[in-house]
Amino acid sequence: MKYNNIIILILMVVMGGNILAQNEIPQNQLSDTARIRSHGATSRATNDRIILRWAPSDFNYWDMGNTYGYNIEKIAFKSDPFNTAIENANEDVTWRKITETPLKPWTLDQYKVASKDTTNKYLGVAMEMLYGEIYGNKDVLKGENMANAMNEQQNKHAYALMAADLDAPTALSLGLRFEDKDVKPGMFYLYRITIAHIDAEYPTDTSEIYVDFSKKYKPQPVTNMWQEAGDGEVLISWTRTNQSAFSAYDIEKSEDGKSWKKLNKRPYVSSFEKNEKAFIYVDSMVVNNKNYSYRLRGYTPFGDQGLYSEIIKSTPIDLTPPAPAYSIKASDNGGAIKIEWEATPNEPDFDGFYVGRSGLPTGGFVKISKKLDKKERAFIDFQANPLEDNYYAIFSVDKSGNESMSYVDLGYIVDSLPPEPPTGMKGSIDTSGLVKISWNRGPEADIIGYRVYWANDTLAEFSQLTGEVFAGTIYGDSINIKTLSEYAYYKIVAVDHRYNHSQYSKILKLQKPDIVPPAAPLISKYEQGQLTVSFSWINSSSDDVVNHTLERKFENEEWKKMAVFTKNEKEYTDKGLLAGKSYAYRIVALDDAGNKSISKDLEITAVDRGKRENIQGFKVVNNNGTSMLEWKYEQTGNYVFVIYKQNASKTGFDPIGRLKNTEKTYQIQNVNDVYGIKAIYSDGGESKMETTN
């Protein structure tokens, strides 16, 4: 047999934590070629033997292994088969069984004899998991308690595997460990482990393990540890990557860095969700602000322990704030604000108070005092802003820096003096009745805005236009200017942040604009041509007209401005109209006040008489001895060129060629003949014929 005909599967599956975490996949969810992994295996080389360990992946395979046992075979190589061409080496690659009979768990009697040794608790666990009631009573799976029974079976499977991980004799008793002493230095070995039974319902696979006997096992430490100090607790974490070497852990703590105490009574196995990346142990038996050291040691699947991890240090901290102050009161104190409060601190590490101020009650508080003594119950803020709201809170602090905030109270400085009346008022009214008025901002810093009042007459009562205080100094209003009154009147009042109102300002008198439109212009006559219309009009007779505007409306579209004319212009021709389309025209007169008047509409339908633009530059040219017709035509549209030649009787022209509208030359034979050309459009229109004579 050649080595390259052997399919070698190197399977280094972790025991313990990995065994407990293996996922079960229902057989009906797999294809015929997707074999269920029935068991995982690993190995260890020592000075005089190779130890094999394996674990069935779920209860059913464990049950099969317990019933039928396991066969172990091996191949011994003199050289590393992965570095040497096996066909060139004299190697025997025949599998040799090294178990005379399949390895099975101990019988109940064997366990009873072993149980007399009360120092090994794991053998008792294995016996209970193998021969306990649920495991023995398989018929219970047919009853109403099927789900509970199946869960109990999986638990028994898991506990048995964990016991095998933690104790070598227990692994041997469960038939999950084998020690091969028939090994020699410098040799290489390939092992395979199979369940000694073929079951169509639960197909099993083979675990194959490659061992280089020169690479002896070296104990390893737990790695990738870190700590997180909390309030009265320390979280010790280590990465899940340690699971490849260890099944369980011991966590030890030291208060002096010399003497160590184990925190777990039994090997610690952390439960975690599938996607979590770390194991976590919480030590709550700590005192805040005291230094502690921690180290870990892992249990391997071979029933022994690795090396101690590195030592990590942690100091739990106090994160609990003191009780907050209460009964906060902020009041005017003659240009300053006095803040008073009550507090009953009972914390031994209570350290005092801070006073905080903000412009909002919801947050943004800035501490405005130094740390006040724990006996203080009042503080005066001489820097309070008289123009804004001042919200105050008391912060109670302890020696660890923890703080609690009290409820908030509003304090303000009393102000009863009104601002001066507004000055510098001016404004305007446009022809639409929109009013714009402005004034100077008052010199007082605490002005929050103004109120605007209006009337049609100085003797009438003024009405307030601003419901709320208006913050700006430019105000817009809208009035009806089609009234008998010629003026509108306004006055302003200033308001400060305490809502003190000033006296009225002086009255602002604004003249209303002229809104009488000019006399309307008149379209007097018109004449339609080939897709054109020419018309004239009589301008408005009003003296204040500044211009006339021609507007056009196409079909049902909006009116659009076509041209603006001075007073002396009275005629216009609109070209390039679309045949059969309706157009409307009107003249708009505009006076110097912005008033407009509009003429009656002129409505027409554009006429197409079939005439198109003439072709230019039609002539005969000589191009390197070749006679050519040449012309220019820059029009757009769907058309072709038709070339004509005068007939023999010289009574007319006959067509001799048809060209695309992109072609502008045509080769001829006789320069003495007379030629013609037309542009013929797809809508039936055509240009005038041009000739060469």
pLDDT digits (tens, 9 = 90+) for 55-68: 998 898 999 999 99
356, containing H or E segment: strand 350-358
The answer to whether residue 517 is domain-embedded is no
Identify whether residues 180 and 74 lie together within a single domain: yes
Identify whether residues 48 and 175 lie together within a single domain: yes
Task: Give me the mean pLDDT over the 642-654 stretch.
Answer: 90
Task: Give me the mean pLDDT over the 532-560 stretch.
Answer: 92
* 7: confidence class by pLDDT, cuts 50, 70, 90: very low
The answer to whether residue 516 is domain-embedded is no
* 52: confidence class by pLDDT, cuts 50, 70, 90: very high
Identify whether residues 13 and 83 lie together within a single domain: yes
Identify whether residues 152 and 46 lie together within a single domain: yes
The answer to whether residue 321 is domain-embedded is no
Range name among 79-83, 227-231, 407-411, 594-598 with the lowest pLDDT average:
79-83
Considering only residues 605 and 568, tell me which one the structure prediction assigns the higher pLDDT.
605
Identify whether residues 617 and 600 lie together within a single domain: no
* Residue 169 in this model has a pLDDT that exceeds 90: yes
pLDDT of residue 412: 86
* Residue 18 in this model has a pLDDT that exceeds 70: no
Residues paired with residue 228 on neighbouring β-strands, in sequence order? 235
Identify whether residues 390 and 431 lie together within a single domain: no
The answer to whether residue 98 is domain-embedded is yes
pLDDT of residue 607: 82
CA–CA dist 246, 15 (Å, integer): 8
Identify whether residues 466 and 545 lie together within a single domain: no
**Which is nearest to 321 in space by CA: 347, 285, 292?**
347
**Listed residues 411, 446, 474: the one ending a domain:** 411
Task: Give me the mean pLDDT over the 164-184 stretch.
Answer: 96
* Residue 535 in this model has a pLDDT that exceeds 80: yes
Is the distance from CB of 166 to CB of 123 less than 8 angstroms? no
The answer to whether residue 499 is domain-embedded is no
The number of distinct structural domains making up the chain is 6
pLDDT of residue 89: 58
pLDDT of residue 19: 35
Is the distance from CB of 602 to CB of 523 less than 8 angstroms? yes
For residue 201, the number of C-alpha atoms closer than 13 Å in the C-beta half-sphere is 3
C-alpha to C-alpha distances, 464 to 399, 438, 467, nearest whole angstrom: 59, 16, 7
* 17: confidence class by pLDDT, cuts 50, 70, 90: very low
Considering only residues 593 and 169, tell me which one the structure prediction assigns the higher pLDDT.
169
**Listed residues 452, 472, 492: the one ending a domain:** 492
* Residue 514 in this model has a pLDDT that exceeds 60: yes
Domain of residue 229, CATH code: 2.60.40.10
Residue type, 114: A
pLDDT of residue 14: 27
- Token reading at 448: 């929050």
Q: What is the 8-class DSSP label of residue 18? A: H
Supply the angle between the helices 146-166 and 59-68 in degrees, to the nearest 10.
Answer: 70
Q: Compute the mean pLDDT over every residue in the chain, rounded to the nearest whole number.
A: 87
**Listed residues 552, 579, 605: the one ending a domain:** 605
- Token reading at 402: 């923890």
The answer to whether residue 420 is domain-embedded is no
Helices (H), 100-198: 108-114, 121-131, 133-136, 146-166, 168-173
Task: Give me the mean pLDDT over the 412-425 stretch.
Answer: 90
- Token reading at 455: 């009337």
The answer to whether residue 512 is domain-embedded is no
Residue 259 lies in domain: 225-314
Considering only residues 291 and 611, tell me which one the structure prediction assigns the higher pLDDT.
291
User: How big is the chain by its Cα radius of gyration, in Å?
Assistant: 53
Identify whether residues 66 and 112 lie together within a single domain: yes
How much of the chain exceeds pLDDT 90, in percent?
Answer: 66
Is the distance from CB of 632 to CB of 616 less than 8 angstroms? yes
CA–CA dist 9, 565 (Å, integer): 97
* 31: confidence class by pLDDT, cuts 50, 70, 90: very low
Beta strand extents in 460-601 (DSSP E only) = 463-464, 474-478, 487-496, 508-511, 522-529, 532-538, 545-554, 560-565, 571-574, 582-591, 596-598
* Residue 537 in this model has a pLDDT that exceeds 80: yes
The answer to whether residue 572 is domain-embedded is yes
Identify whether residues 486 and 558 lie together within a single domain: no
pLDDT of residue 276: 74
* Residue 219 in this model has a pLDDT that exceeds 90: yes
* Residue 296 in this model has a pLDDT that exceeds 80: yes
Task: Give me the mean pLDDT over the 229-247 stretch.
Answer: 91
* Residue 666 in this model has a pLDDT that exceeds 80: yes
Considering only residues 166 and 204, tell me which one the structure prediction assigns the higher pLDDT.
166
pLDDT of residue 256: 94
* 482: confidence class by pLDDT, cuts 50, 70, 90: confident
Q: Are strands 611-612 and 686-687 parallel, antiparallel or unpaired?
A: parallel
Identify whether residues 404 and 448 lie together within a single domain: no
Identify whether residues 63 and 97 lie together within a single domain: yes
Identify whether residues 15 and 143 lie together within a single domain: yes
